[in-house]
Amino acid sequence: MKHLIRCAVYPLIISVLCICGDVSPAHAVPRDVVRFEKAKVAFREGFIYFNRQKYLAAVEHFRKAVSDYPGYLTAREYLARSYRLAGFKEEAIREWEAFLEESPDNVMVRQKVDALRFQDARELAGGPRGEFVLADEVSSEEMRRFRFPNPVDFAVDNEKNMYITSFSSGKLIKIDPNKDGQEIFNAGFTSKLYGIDYFNGRLAVADFGEDMVYVMNTAFKMLNRFGSPGNGEGSFHGPQGVCFDPRGFIYVADSGNHRVQKFDPDGRFILSFGRQGEYEGELYKPTDVTVAGDAVYVSDNGNNRIACFDDSGNFVKNITIKDSSSMRGIHAYGETLLIADEKTGLLVFNPSTGKTFVKNSWDRDKRSFSRLFSAAADRDDFLYCLDYGAESLFTFNPLQKHYTNFDVEIASVDVSKYPVIAFYVSVRDRAGKPLYGLKRDNFRMIEDKVPMGGLYVDYLKDKDPSASMVFCVDRSEGMRQYHGDVAWVAEFILQRMRTNDSFRVASASSDYVPETDFDWSRRRALAALGGAGYGPGKNLGKALYNSLTDLVPRINRRGVILVTDGEVDDKSFAQYTADNIIFFANSHHIPVYIISFREQSNTLEKIATATGGAFYFTRQAENLKGIYEKIRGAEENRYVLVYSTLRAATVSGWWSEVKIEVTYKNQKGHEWGGYFVP
């Protein structure tokens, strides 16, 4: 308990210390008051840099606070946070472990260490032997006017909204992640909606009764419709399953015609494959279709098998699964196929190994599926199963994730509009992947032990999309020969920019030099690109690290583009390693794109791939054209939690303690922090 004695009666920080350990204000003052007061000054200076997202500068001040007073646990905890947000994983772990030596029972800090140590948690896609635990259930009976009788298929969008087709009512129901009904699409009196899939903001829905496919946005605004009764090209007879491929092409299981048809993103017929029968390449009443890479898997219900074709419609093989009985829906996820069998339950099948995992019951066999029609997993590894008989959509967690916590992290706090407070927060799962689509009801803010109302979480989501980019040019001597082509590369982005975008030109040789401010001026960017000189040195690690540092505080979609000859020497990553850069970029969700004139560096390619960017050669013009759209169109995965404090402004300088709780489908995450009242 020696740390308790060190941390009392100083009102500026005592509330933070209370949450860092079992602190009681009744204990004595620190033994060395002068040193402690000096440490407090350093802590407050560090906190200013932390909220400006200048994390390396914050590190220096927090480190000084800890040096002045080693028992100052709040300073040590913020030192660890700053190291992490600055891209130094091992240093962050070291400081948190030093904290735990003083306060071994602190659960929140231990979870931070665990989150960094175990970001390689096995995902659902890793194999078919995983176990799942019920996390949530959406029952038609409980949805009132948003009921979905006789549900046959569903889709989940990137915001975790659920879309369920009701066969008997001809309706499509939209339900948000907190089980609140949002929209109803009523196709018509004779409609029987069946299959549905989601891709890139669009829904494709098969109408079994009208022999038609609808394409609409997530607000149910109709974008296109195609099909008619018949057996000719583009006609249907009882279409059931429907899916998008990664390019937006649409496949339809044309059940009554015993075939699959493929359409382009605009609904134009491309080809059909399959015919009635039981031999190779033949189908009998197929119920669903899914695409994995260039393989197309068809749930061949009448023949009780899976038929595999390539994306040109050529037959590859038939797959028989001994546990199957009446296959309905099929969905590709990672290395596996999730097959909903009406009688057997869920079949998780790995085509490469031939192994199958069967799930039909849970809660120690107290509950089981009635008639499973569809199953799919979202990108956060939540498994969804639609039960036609029970008229319910069940959500399951992989067992290894069910007992873990979300990793919640405060990146900065804005009090410039006091009494309105804004906390910039990231939420990740145990594997380190961002958790998208959380709503206000998933967050709870507690300030000085008082829950805050009126929380607003969609600040970034509601902003018009825009991009901030650093275009960093390698100015080493080897790049001199490509000087005339650098502006040509930049034009792939500059010509597409809009007035709310911003673009900074920077140069890198032995040092990193910003050549322009962030703006959208094509003229200034081209002038900077043409005027910069070349010199010795090739410190690409510093160039990438400083490019990321420039982008971290920007409130829009962000990306780094490094133009280089691809050469890397032994000093290129001596100051900042590739792992530093990857961890730094991923901590702030910033992709790195590398454009090379000549060489393909393994190190540069690793950085680009691991941060969600890409490595391209300048000759890949089509890929270069897409960089801007990828950066500007990226999903926003940061949250800004905005609320009005109840604390009076007359307590200027007081530290307000804040606790953040995140809850989603039976998983939780916690974070603590605070701010100085201005």
pLDDT at 627 over 80: yes
Position with higher pLDDT, 150 vs 379: 150
User: Is residue 459 very low, low, confident or very high in pLDDT (cuts 50, 70, 90)?
Assistant: confident
Identify the domain containing residue 23 by its residue range.
Answer: 2-117
Residue 144 burial (CB count, 10 A):
8
pLDDT at 628 over 90: yes
* Beta bridge mates, 467: 557
* 384 in a structural domain: no
Distance between CA atoms of residues 473 and 98, nearest Å:
40
pLDDT at 153 over 90: yes
- Confidence at residue 335, expressed as pLDDT on a 0 to 100 scale: 86
Question: Beta strands 557-564 and 467-474: pairing type?
Answer: parallel
* 302 in a structural domain: yes
Q: Within this chain, do residues 71 and 197 fall inside the same structural domain, yes or no?
A: no
For residue range 606-623, list pLDDT tens digits in order.
999 999 999 999 999 999
pLDDT > 90 fraction of the chain, expressed in percent and rounded: 75
* 365 in a structural domain: no
- Confidence at residue 134, expressed as pLDDT on a 0 to 100 scale: 87
Q: Within this chain, do residues 447 and 537 fall inside the same structural domain, yes or no?
A: no
CATH of residue 285: 2.120.10.30
- Confidence at residue 415, expressed as pLDDT on a 0 to 100 scale: 94
For residue range 395-405, list pLDDT tens digits in order.
988 665 555 67
For residue range 14-34, list pLDDT tens digits in order.
333 333 333 322 233 456 788
Q: Within this chain, do residues 458 and 474 fall inside the same structural domain, yes or no?
A: no
- Confidence at residue 299, expressed as pLDDT on a 0 to 100 scale: 97
CATH of residue 57: 1.25.40.10
pLDDT at 480 over 70: yes
* 35 in a structural domain: yes
Distance between CA atoms of residues 554 and 170, nearest Å:
46
Q: Within this chain, do residues 490 and 504 fall inside the same structural domain, yes or no?
A: yes
- Confidence at residue 424, expressed as pLDDT on a 0 to 100 scale: 95
Strand arrangement of the beta sheet that strand 655-664 belongs to: 450-451, 443-447, 655-664, 667-676, 406-414, 420-428, 638-644
User: Is residue 66 very low, low, confident or very high in pLDDT (cuts 50, 70, 90)?
Assistant: very high
- Confidence at residue 118, expressed as pLDDT on a 0 to 100 scale: 65
- Confidence at residue 130, expressed as pLDDT on a 0 to 100 scale: 53
Distance between CA atoms of residues 614 and 636, nearest Å:
19
Distance between CA atoms of residues 204 and 224, nearest Å:
9
Q: Within this chain, do residues 649 and 623 fall inside the same structural domain, yes or no?
A: no
Question: Average pLDDT in the 166-191 region?
Answer: 94
Distance between CA atoms of residues 646 and 439, nearest Å:
23
Q: Within this chain, do residues 477 and 454 fall inside the same structural domain, yes or no?
A: no
Question: Average pLDDT in the 342-370 region?
Answer: 91
> 7 by DSSP, 3-state: which?
coil
Q: Within this chain, do residues 607 and 648 fall inside the same structural domain, yes or no?
A: no
On whether the pTM is more than 0.85, the answer is no
**Closest by CA position to 544, among listed 583, 502, 489:** 583
- Confidence at residue 406, expressed as pLDDT on a 0 to 100 scale: 87
Distance between CA atoms of residues 32 and 22, nearest Å:
21
**Closest by CA position to 119, among listed 143, 142, 141, 92:** 92
* 397 in a structural domain: no
> 23 by DSSP, 3-state: which?
coil
For residue range 560-599, list pLDDT tens digits in order.
999 999 999 999 999 999 999 999 999 999 999 999 999 9
- Confidence at residue 26, expressed as pLDDT on a 0 to 100 scale: 29
pLDDT at 139 over 50: yes
pLDDT at 122 over 90: no
- Confidence at residue 12, expressed as pLDDT on a 0 to 100 scale: 34
Q: Within this chain, do residues 545 and 616 fall inside the same structural domain, yes or no?
A: yes
Distance between CA atoms of residues 259 and 490, nearest Å:
47
* 169 in a structural domain: yes
Q: Within this chain, do residues 498 and 474 fall inside the same structural domain, yes or no?
A: yes
Distance between CA atoms of residues 115 and 610, nearest Å:
18
CATH of residue 561: 3.40.50.410
Q: Within this chain, do residues 545 and 423 fall inside the same structural domain, yes or no?
A: no
pLDDT > 70 fraction of the chain, expressed in percent and rounded: 92
3-state percent helix, strand, coil for the chain, nearest multiple of 5: 25, 35, 40
The overall average pLDDT reported for the chain is: 89
- Confidence at residue 30, expressed as pLDDT on a 0 to 100 scale: 57
For residue range 261-318, list pLDDT tens digits in order.
999 999 999 999 999 999 999 999 999 999 998 999 999 999 999 999 999 999 999 9
Position with higher pLDDT, 8 vs 312: 312
Question: Average pLDDT in the 464-474 region?
Answer: 95
Position with higher pLDDT, 468 vs 128: 468
- Confidence at residue 399, expressed as pLDDT on a 0 to 100 scale: 60
Buried-exposed string 445-464: b where 16+ CB fall within 10 A, e elsewhere: bebbeeebeeeebebeeeee
Q: Within this chain, do residues 153 and 274 fall inside the same structural domain, yes or no?
A: yes
* 386 in a structural domain: no
Question: Average pLDDT in the 379-399 region?
Answer: 89
Position with higher pLDDT, 225 vs 17: 225
Q: Within this chain, do residues 303 and 332 fall inside the same structural domain, yes or no?
A: yes
* 148 in a structural domain: yes
- Confidence at residue 32, expressed as pLDDT on a 0 to 100 scale: 79
For residue range 89-119, list pLDDT tens digits in order.
999 999 999 999 988 888 888 888 877 876 5
pLDDT at 126 over 70: no
Distance between CA atoms of residues 3 and 23, nearest Å:
8
- How many folded domains does the chain comprise? 4
